Amino acid sequence: MNKVIYMDNAATTATRPEVLEAMLPYFGQTFGNPSSIHGVGREARKAVEAARKQVADAIGAEAREVYFSAGGSESDNWAIRLGCAAMSKKGKHIITSAIEHHAILHTCEAMEKEGYRVTYLPVDEFGLVSVADVENAICDDTALITIMAANNEIGTLQPIKEIAEIAKAHGVLFHTDAVQAIGAIPVDVKEWGVDMLSMSGHKFHGPKGIGALYVRKGIRMSNLIHGGAQERGFRAGTENLPAIVGIGKAIELAVAELPEYTEKMTALRDRLIDGLTERIPEIRLNGHRTKRLPANVNISIRYLEGESILMRLDLAGIEASSGSACTSGSLDPSHVLLAIGLPHEIAHGSLRLSLGMENTEEEVETVLNELPKIVENLRAMSPLTPAYLR
């Protein structure tokens, strides 16, 4: 069989060879504990702080505003908890959106159990949060707003700068989950005006299990993990040294490559969207046509069920996803697709193709040839397919 075509970069990306190379010495000769006094320890400390600077520079922050974590989920959990704690005097109300990642939604649900009120803002048919809705939802006791920068399933980009302005005007903290945005669109925390921002290394060709949380200086920090003095005492535990080096290198490379990435991904994405729309009757693009991640394609294919499409694609050597990787084990259609108003059976037949720099025009053409065949074949098998499509 030909080489596998990987179009699931929103689930995770391959660690770049340059990143791996940068990490390797820290498993080997520079294995030291960054808290140690001796030479190899000091080398390790230097590497951690250099990586912190790389992350900070990539998002327009100061190094001391960057805290390492074990990934996007951990950063999201931490941000909500520390934001609420910092604002405890103001009140117990959180505003978020209906299409957040579960790392946000489930943390908000946990906060509800602890006595917080949470407003889950609806989105429009394109997955956009309305800035006016955010403003209207703010109450005297609102402590925190958390709205994602880019959606992992349908790729919709939110008006983060405008929401940040409103949050600021009302004295409310604003966190954004930028896990899908870093390395995909320009991110500058000062220009956006966000108070906190989450990222995850494995979404931009860094290693898995490492993330970072930006917390604007001046916000009262609180602990995620109690113990030693790591991460200025707020997240104890000996640092994941090689992974920290990896996320630093990965974000530096991703940001340097951004103009090229944007151009190439947008072209491949649009070719896919246009080609599929031309070749497959009765499909719909989910998300916004232009306010969209450059590498995200999400379509609903009527009369079909997502897993069957994915597995047929897999048999044809094309790796994609039907929602986010974490929900593919569940039977319910994605909460994001339901939130944009798709009926149950259409949400069920959705497919996400998320591109990366390794993808080529030829691979896109292969998908454009294979997918219509698979759809036709599966539609012939579906009791829902109307006669004119058979």
Residues noted as catalytic: 326
Closer residue to another protein, CB minimum distance, 34 or 306: 306
Closer residue to another protein, CB minimum distance, 36 or 328: 328
Closer residue to ligand PLP, CB minimum distance, 72 or 127: 72
In the bound complex, what is the minimum distance in angstroms from residue 331's beta carbon to another protein? Answer: 4
In the bound complex, what is the minimum distance in angstroms from residue 103's beta carbon to ligand PLP? Answer: 5
Whole-number Cα distances in Å, 302 to 236, 241, 244: 49, 47, 44
Closer residue to ligand PLP, CB minimum distance, 119 or 180: 180
CB 68 within 8 A of CB 58: no
In the bound complex, what is the minimum distance in angstroms from residue 180's beta carbon to ligand PLP? Answer: 5
| Number of neighbouring beta carbons within 10 Å of residue 224 | 21
Binding site for ligand PLP (CB under 6 A): 71-73, 76, 101, 103, 148, 152, 177, 179-180, 200, 211
CA 245 and chain centroid, separation: 21
Cα–Cα distance, 49 to 78 (Å, whole number): 21
Select from ligand PLP, another protein, none the partner in contact with residue 103, using the beta carbon and a kind-dependent cut-off of 5 to 8 Å.
ligand PLP
In the bound complex, what is the minimum distance in angstroms from residue 105's beta carbon to another protein? Answer: 21
Select from another protein, ligand PLP, none the partner in contact with residue 384, using the beta carbon and a kind-dependent cut-off of 5 to 8 Å.
another protein
Binding site for another protein (CB under 8 A): 303-308, 311-312, 315, 329, 331-333, 344-345, 348, 380-384
Closer residue to ligand PLP, CB minimum distance, 172 or 210: 210
Which residue, among 186, 110, 192, 104, has the nearest Cα to 152 in the 3D structure?
Answer: 104
Residues forming beta bridges with residue 379, ordered by sequence position: none
Q: Tell me the two tokens of residue 88.
A: 């405890």
In the bound complex, what is the minimum distance in angstroms from residue 39's beta carbon to ligand PLP? Answer: 33
Strand bridging mode 296-301 / 350-354:
antiparallel
Which residue, among 6, 1, 4, has the nearest Cα to 320 in the 3D structure?
Answer: 6
Position with the least CB separation from ligand PLP: 72
| Number of neighbouring beta carbons within 10 Å of residue 143 | 25
> Helix H segments across the chain?
17-23, 39-59, 72-86, 102-113, 131-137, 160-169, 189-192, 241-256, 258-279, 306-315, 335-339, 344-348, 361-381
